[in-house]
Amino acid sequence: MNDQANKPHLVTAAIQMNSQQDIEKNLAAIKSAISDASHQGAHLVVLPENCCSMGRQFATAERFDALSATIAEYARSYGIYVLAGSLPCPYRPDGVIVPDGRLRQVSLLFAPDGTQVARYDKIHLFTATVADKQGSYNEAATFEPGTQTVVVPIEVDTGIYQLGMMVCFDLRFPALAQRLRQAGADLLSAPSAFTYLTGQAHWSLLLRARALDSQCMVIGAAQGGDHVYKNGDIRQTWGHTTITAFDGTIINSYEDSELNNAIHKDNKNYALILATLDKQTQQQGRQKMPIFDCHRLA
């Protein structure tokens, strides 16, 4: 008998996309990626930030409920947990419309039966000056920050795993990763759309650092490549989708910003990487270095 089959383990998939502003084409890529992950034995698939559209946030937000229902149906059809990296939403978790003409940046988790089991509203909003074509980024002009951390159980035949939810810029705040671990997280989701320059400088380092801070697996599903906006502007994202183990080692990664059609001869418009969370090995690592028993500042 295979000992690994009897160990508590969770097979995770992270998807890299090059989402444009054609929502239907993005949905087709999402559906194909979920199908692919399911057929490769994944229990959980994580989509990147802005998976349904890069830009056009207000127009996309008008379709929030319909897009959520579509991705929920994909989860049900393929019998897999699906984390919709982020969707712009016009209302708060309690249903109240976001004031001041802003939105919430929302990450949703759907169970294999299609039910929505978690909603996380991005807490940290990207504010930076970057030496790229856009130059200045201020997410708070469009979005209202969330206020609640979220840890949700993922129940599969190999056990129950606690998922702490983050989005993109959240990776720069170790206190959030630590709080999620203190709330019981085994793994952290980090759907992202890092700029090319900030990603090149910090993406891999941040994923590894947050894994070390929390002693959790970190799933960094990313946007990558050029995104052409309706006004002709082009935004570049770093890609390099990566899954990192609790000890800061990289388990698997897609080593490119662009989707490489020389690799994907069937011309897939996504890339997929897989990694397995071995809960027993992770727990042993935590016991050898019990940093949360020694924590004095939080």
- What dihedral do alpha carbons 108, 87, 16, 241 form, nearest 10°? -70
Do 256 and 273 meet the contact criterion of CB atoms below 8 Å apart? no
Active-site annotation holds for 268: no
Indicate the SS3 state at residue 34: helix
**No. of helices (H) and no. of strands (E), the chain:** 8, 16
Burial of 263 (0-12, 13-18, 19+ CB in 10 A): exposed
Do 81 and 44 meet the contact criterion of CB atoms below 8 Å apart? yes
Active-site annotation holds for 49: yes
Which residue, among 20, 15, 28, 17, has the nearest Cα to 234 in the 3D structure?
A: 20
The span from the CA of 264 to the CA of 272, in Å, is: 10
Helix, strand, coil in percent for the chain, rounding step 5: 30, 30, 40
Query: Which residue in 49, 52, 144, 216 is the catalytic one?
Result: 49
Q: What is the pLDDT of residue 130?
A: 80
Query: CA 158 → CA 9, 38, 45, 244, distances in Å?
Result: 6, 16, 16, 21
Query: Which residue in 51, 52, 168, 216 is the catalytic one?
Result: 168
Beta-bridged to residue 159, according to DSSP, are: 156
Instruction: Tell me the whole-structure pTM to 2 decimals.
Output: 0.95
Q: Which residues contact 125 (CB under 8 A, 6 or more apart)?
A: 105, 138, 139, 140, 143, 145, 169
Q: What is the pLDDT of residue 137?
A: 83
Domain layout of the chain by residue ranges: 10-294
User: In this structure, what DSSP letter does residue 221 have?
Assistant: -
Domain 10-294 has CATH 3.60.110.10: yes
Active-site annotation holds for 255: no
Q: What is the pLDDT of residue 4?
A: 54
What residue has token string 């947990």?
A: 81
Average pLDDT across each block of 10 residues of the chain; the chain has 298 residues. List them in order: 68 98 97 98 98 96 98 98 98 98 98 98 91 80 97 97 98 98 98 96 98 98 94 91 98 94 62 97 97 86
Query: Which residue in 122, 139, 144, 216 is the catalytic one?
Result: 122
Do 253 and 242 meet the contact criterion of CB atoms below 8 Å apart? yes
Residues in the chain: 298
